[in-house]
Amino acid sequence: MVSYKRLNPEEVYLSGPESLAPNPDDPLDEDPKEGDAEFPLLSRRPQCSVTSALLTLGGLIVIVLGVWLLGTVVWLRNPPSTDPHRPPPPASATPGDMQETGARGQPESCSLVPEAWRFDCYPERGVVVTMEMCQARNCCFIPREVTVKPGSQRPNGVPWCFYPPEFPSYTMVSLNDTAMGYEGTLIRKQQTYYPKDIETLQLDVLYESDNRLHVKITDSADKRFEVPIDVPEVKERASSPTYTVEFQKEPFGLIVKRAQSGAVLLNTSVAPLFYADQFLQMSTSLPSPYVYGLGEHRSSFLHNIQWNTLTMWARDVPPMELTNLYGVHPFYLCMEPNGTAHGVFLLNSNAMDVVLQPAPALTWRTIGGILDFYIFMGPDPSSVIEQYLEVIGRPAMPIYWALGFHLCRWGYKSSNRTWEVVKEMRNYGIPQDVQWNDIDYMDRAMDFTFDPVNFATLPDLVKDLHRHDQRYVLMLDCGISSTQPAGSYWPYEEGLRRGVFINDSNGDTLIGKVWPGLTAYPDFSNPATHDWWYESLQKFHHRVPFDGLWIDMNEPSNFFDGSTKGCPDNELEHPPYTPGILGGILRAKTLCASARQKTSTHYNLHSLYGLMEAKASASALKRILVGKRPFIISRSTFPSQGVYSGHWLGDNKSQWKDMYTSISGMLTFNLLGIPLVGADICGFGEETTEELCVRWTQLGAFYPFSRNHNAIDEQDQDPTVFSPAARMAMKEALLLRYSLFPFLYTLFHHAHISGHTVARPLFFEFPTDQKTYGIDKQFLWGKSLLVTPVLESGVDFVVGYFPKGLWYDLYTGDSLISSGEEIKLQAPLDKINLHLREGAIVPTQRPNTTLWVSTGQPLHLISCLSAESSAEGDMFWDDGDSLDTYETGQYAYIQFRVEKNTMTSEVLHGHEEASYLTVESVSFYGVKTEPSNVTVNSQDAEFTYTTNQVLTVKDLGLNLSQNFTISWT
């Protein structure tokens, strides 16, 4: 059991009538003895004699019967509410429940709380909760028939120990109008079982926009840590909010509803509010069980709400279920029963648990900071994400080559071997834009160095890549070697001189251990560290002119628990409550929680480390690669990360299950504002098979960030090492990706300017179709391209769900009309099924082996006519690598439409970049009757028409920078 400071009786503030005060003659209220599990911090109810108990029971039976008769009459006249957002009426107590309650001195109200609405009063792990321990917290105790071995962690499920309806919480004693909304005061009159309760809280309810509500609960007396990311500063109250806010005074509760329908989105009155120094907890009902987001965890895309606890605390660990992984994203999106959606974001970086239970309800439980909530009203899921990104920041526009195919491995072992692989890819004509090296390029695993023997030709390799219009990305870890001879390693010595490293609680440089051995850790919360980081990168760039950075191990990872000196025994290292983090302690495989950084303790800043390093790295690359967009991929992430970097999903395995779960990870990070995301194609750890690698390359060709990467001592898995048939299948998949580059690049433009997703779950486009809510084996690019990969071994078909409507096979134009059903598709080893949605126009391009060459090739437009014979699409185009082209107007934007047998192309924003491209051909899928005549800009043109209703016009030579018209009769 996690230990915590016990409160002395004199520290307990008891309120209420004297008759409710503890009886000094009651043996249950004696002073605690050494070894007692706990003693009560709140007043107990006085015990009664057997006689009085019988009289009381008899009286209660009479009352209950009377109430039941009256209630039956009322119910017949007024059936109970079906509102799903509040706890249902209490269930009747069973004889077994009564034995567990009345006989043991706990309120009978305990047995009336439905199981789904029982909020855990004893969430500590590694402990078997007993009745005495539970009642010491003045909570209800009803054990379940579950066998738990002594000392083992109890399974997730209905809590045995839960809050009674009358458990004390805060009371709202004042509420005043402000220019932005409301300001209130919350008072706690009775202490909880966690130390250092904050007795007076300030509540701020801010109507920031019509679709965004901001709620902050802070200590009214003392300043507490707040997450240092940029959020909007709003000074004018929303004029027409789509939400209403109601308050429950005692116990305090906040209820947020949709203004138009009255639907309840949040109701925090369902469980008590906690706000102690190191334990903050707030619960809310949910309008449905459809919850997404809450990264980073390996799970299905749709979260399980059956007593599921998701822990957040950045951790270096290969992806596995029920474990806190590399990133922390306390944001969820919830679909509502009628197809509308809302989102909630808790801006808090401390270690936390998020508990989902089948009521449905959710509990936030964090150990520091403040309660700082944003509620986004949607009403559709895409709008929720747009509103969320208005707060945390929209993703950066990637440099064009970032969307090509990347190749890497840990274990090339030399620059010459790396070079050989690049040449093999070229010889086979397999697309590749970027070559990477893992840590083995370094001299003794030290940042800003390269092995002078095995990687002596690294600078020449990079120059060769550049001559072939390819790019080079290298890895950097955050640990800086601290053991090199004096005068031999500038990054450490200069960093020490400038004071850029994280210190321990004594003020000395904290030393941990990573790949180079003993290391110091840069403090990226310190502006001085950003300058030192830039200078270190600049010096190395002069030797190896890299194009992008891969920042790894930045949770930050540590092979020790804490430091070489250990960590102090204090409340930061051993908080009263520790969330369910892997290792059970905050310092597990990372730094001491009590370590000192420039702006706060590591206790507060830990999960921000990857974000702060990405920000420093983006700033440095902008200074080094003058005028170019920085390319960074980071392992650890936090909200607003997409402004600075992309993300890969970590050290997965070469298994079919990992391939499948990568789709959930990709979709989740698109919800979280990091659309440049992908998994290691073919798997990182263990050995792949040819079939798995082919299928994974086909899927990976549709990751927004597409990279093949594997581990040291595993077999090679780049496309060149497989059989001719497998190699050709991989090549065709990658060429297909390159042909779709104009479409993908335009999707990233919309992500950058509007906060749209790139890879998208089906329910975003079909929010009223509940069959789509749990789909995570298929996904969309944008609104229109449906990807249905094979995710199983030994099959030549795949079953995919097609929402209601008209769909077209991308390759052939064959149409498929769905009523909203699953359809079996043929899927030989050389094919991934792709379908286009009716009403879309998708720009494609003749592909080549690098995007630099591909982006100069002619365009082919695919127009997918709807049942009404209409379609629309667009295309964004710029030079591909300059900073802020949209913001400075250095771009072209073209809109395509089809109506009444006529396609029009309209240049809405012109730029010379568009003049370098021509539209060479157009295909119209779904032309119901064969035309007799086709004209292009009023001139007759040749065309073909096939029996599957595909009209194709070729040899157009139309300049993209000029409007054009294509008509048929």
State yes or no: is 822 an active-site residue: no
Instruction: Determine if the peptide bond prior to 789 is cis (ω within 30°).
Output: no
Looking at the DSSP bridge assignments, the partners of residue 203 are 184, 217
Per-position b or e across 142-170, b if 16+ CB within 10 A of its CB:
beeeeeeeeeeebebebbbbbbbbebbbb
Instruction: Give yes or no for residue 219 having a pLDDT over 80.
Output: yes
- Among 392, 408, 432, the domain boundary falls at 392
Q: What is the pLDDT of residues 525-541, one digit of tens each?
A: 999 999 999 999 999 99
pLDDT band at 95 (very low <50, low <70, confident <90, very high): very low
* Strand, helix or coil for residue 148: coil
d(CA 824, CA 829): 15
799 phi/psi in degrees, rounded to 5 = -100, 125
How many C-alpha atoms does 574 have within 13 Å on its Cβ side?
Answer: 9
pLDDT band at 677 (very low <50, low <70, confident <90, very high): very high
324 phi/psi in degrees, rounded to 5 = -70, 125
Are residue 115 and residue 264 in the same domain, yes or no?
A: no
403, with CB counted inside 10 A (0-12, 13-18, 19+), is: buried
How many C-alpha atoms does 193 have within 13 Å on its Cβ side?
Answer: 22
Q: What is the pLDDT of residue 108?
A: 86
10: nearest Cα among 136, 277, 197, 191: 191
Instruction: Give yes or no for residue 852 having a pLDDT over 50.
Output: yes
Are residue 140 and residue 236 in the same domain, yes or no?
A: no
Cα 636 to the chain's mean position, in Å?
Answer: 11
* Strand, helix or coil for residue 417: helix
Per-position b or e across 823-858, b if 16+ CB within 10 A of its CB:
eebebeeebbbbbbbbbbbbbbbbbbbbbbebbebb
d(CA 7, CA 325): 35
Per-position b or e across 800-812, b if 16+ CB within 10 A of its CB:
bbbbebbbbbbee
Are residue 136 and residue 259 in the same domain, yes or no?
A: no
Looking at the DSSP bridge assignments, the partners of residue 344 are 332, 375
Are residue 118 and residue 196 in the same domain, yes or no?
A: no
Are residue 135 and residue 184 in the same domain, yes or no?
A: no
Instruction: Give yes or no for residue 147 having a pLDDT over 60.
Output: no
Instruction: Give yes or no for residue 195 having a pLDDT over 90.
Output: yes
Instruction: Give yes or no for residue 60 having a pLDDT over 60.
Output: no
688, with CB counted inside 10 A (0-12, 13-18, 19+), is: buried
d(CA 724, CA 510): 53
112 phi/psi in degrees, rounded to 5 = -90, -5
pLDDT band at 146 (very low <50, low <70, confident <90, very high): low
CA distances from 852 to 431, 629, 633, 741, 880 (A): 11, 16, 21, 11, 9
Helices 609-624 and 527-543 sit at what angle, rounded to 10 degrees? 50
Report, as an integer, the average pLDDT of 796-815. Answer: 98
Q: What is the pLDDT of residue 107?
A: 83
76, with CB counted inside 10 A (0-12, 13-18, 19+), is: exposed
Instruction: State the average pLDDT for the chain.
Output: 90
Q: What is the pLDDT of residue 39?
A: 34
Torsion sign over Cα 657, 659, 660, 664: positive
The CATH number of the domain where 946 resides is what? 2.60.40.1180
Looking at the DSSP bridge assignments, the partners of residue 267 are 255
Are residue 163 and residue 176 in the same domain, yes or no?
A: no
Are residue 201 and residue 330 in the same domain, yes or no?
A: yes
Question: What count of other Cβ atoms lies within 10 Å of the Cβ of residue 119?
Answer: 21
Query: Lowest-confidence range among 18-22, 221-225, 381-385, 749-753?
Result: 18-22
Q: What is the pLDDT of residues 858-874, one digit of tens each?
A: 999 999 999 999 999 99
d(CA 386, CA 394): 8
The CATH number of the domain where 141 resides is what? 4.10.110.10
114, 120 in Cβ contact below 8 A? no
Q: What is the pLDDT of residue 183?
A: 98
Residue reference for tokens 């690294």: 458
- The residue count of the chain comes to 969
Q: What is the pLDDT of residues 544-584, one digit of tens each?
A: 999 999 999 999 999 999 999 999 999 999 999 999 999 99
273, 540 in Cβ contact below 8 A? no
Is residue 714 in a domain? Answer: no
Is residue 918 in a domain? Answer: yes
Is residue 954 in a domain? Answer: yes
d(CA 157, CA 162): 12
Q: What is the pLDDT of residue 155?
A: 53
Q: Tell me the Ramachandran region of residue 887: left when phi exceeds 0, alpha when psi lies from -120 to 50, beta otherwise.
A: alpha
d(CA 639, CA 672): 7
Q: What is the radius of gyration, based on Cα positions, of the chain?
A: 31
90, 114 in Cβ contact below 8 A? yes
Is residue 28 in a domain? Answer: no
* Strand, helix or coil for residue 915: helix
Report, as an integer, the average pLDDT of 772-800. Answer: 98
Q: What is the pLDDT of residue 145?
A: 65
Instruction: Give yes or no for residue 68 having a pLDDT over 90.
Output: no
Q: What is the pLDDT of residues 420-470, one digit of tens each?
A: 999 999 999 999 999 999 999 999 999 999 999 999 999 999 999 999 999
Question: What count of other Cβ atoms lies within 10 Å of the Cβ of residue 39?
Answer: 19
Instruction: Give yes or no for residue 181 having a pLDDT over 90.
Output: yes
d(CA 464, CA 442): 20
330, with CB counted inside 10 A (0-12, 13-18, 19+), is: buried
d(CA 159, CA 357): 10
pLDDT band at 106 (very low <50, low <70, confident <90, very high): confident
- State the DSSP code for 442: S
Please give the structure tokens belonging to residue 714: 């595993």
Per-position b or e across 885-909, b if 16+ CB within 10 A of its CB:
beeeebbbbbebbbeebebebebee
- Among 362, 392, 422, the domain boundary falls at 392
- Annotated active-site residue in 372, 438, 555, 776: 555
**What amino acid is encoded at 699 in this protein?**
L
Instruction: Give yes or no for residue 29 having a pLDDT over 90.
Output: no
Report, as an integer, the average pLDDT of 917-945. Answer: 98
Residue reference for tokens 């001299």: 443
Are residue 248 and residue 129 in the same domain, yes or no?
A: no
- Between 638 and 83, residue with greater pLDDT: 638
Residue reference for tokens 């980073």: 296
Are residue 231 and residue 365 in the same domain, yes or no?
A: yes
d(CA 765, CA 381): 9
Tell me whether strands 632-634 and 646-648 are parallel, antiparallel or unpaired.
parallel
- Among 361, 392, 423, the domain boundary falls at 392
943, 927 in Cβ contact below 8 A? no
Is residue 686 in a domain? Answer: no
Q: What is the pLDDT of residues 108-129, one digit of tens each?
A: 899 999 999 999 999 999 899 9
Q: What is the pLDDT of residue 786?
A: 98
Are residue 960 and residue 941 in the same domain, yes or no?
A: yes
Residue reference for tokens 């509410």: 81
959, with CB counted inside 10 A (0-12, 13-18, 19+), is: middle
The CATH number of the domain where 305 resides is what? 2.60.40.1760
pTM of the model: 0.90
Helix residue ranges per DSSP H, 812-959 = 851-854, 912-915
d(CA 946, CA 951): 7
pLDDT band at 104 (very low <50, low <70, confident <90, very high): low
Please give the structure tokens belonging to residue 852: 């630099």
Are residue 163 and residue 189 in the same domain, yes or no?
A: no
- Residue 288 sits in which domain range? 170-392
Are residue 232 and residue 141 in the same domain, yes or no?
A: no
372: nearest Cα among 225, 171, 237: 225
Q: What is the pLDDT of residue 23?
A: 37
Is residue 267 in a domain? Answer: yes
Tell me whether strands 212-219 and 939-940 are parallel, antiparallel or unpaired.
unpaired
Helices 690-700 and 724-739 sit at what angle, rounded to 10 degrees? 10
Q: What is the pLDDT of residues 617-634, one digit of tens each?
A: 999 999 999 999 999 999
Cα angle 502, 508, 510 (rounded to 5 degrees) comes to 45
Residue 781 makes CB contacts below 8 A (sequence gap 6+) with: 702, 740, 743, 744, 747, 758, 759, 760, 787
**What amino acid is encoded at 620 in this protein?**
A
d(CA 523, CA 574): 23
Report, as an integer, the average pLDDT of 732-757. Answer: 98
* Strand, helix or coil for residue 210: coil
Is residue 556 in a domain? Answer: no
State yes or no: is 552 an active-site residue: yes
Residue reference for tokens 């004199």: 10
Is residue 613 in a domain? Answer: no
d(CA 388, CA 639): 10
Q: What is the pLDDT of residue 62?
A: 41
Q: What is the pLDDT of residue 911?
A: 97
Provide the number of structural domains found in the chain: 3
Instruction: Give yes or no for residue 35 having a pLDDT over 90.
Output: no
- Annotated active-site residue in 316, 547, 552, 776: 552
- Between 4 and 459, residue with greater pLDDT: 459
309, 355 in Cβ contact below 8 A? yes
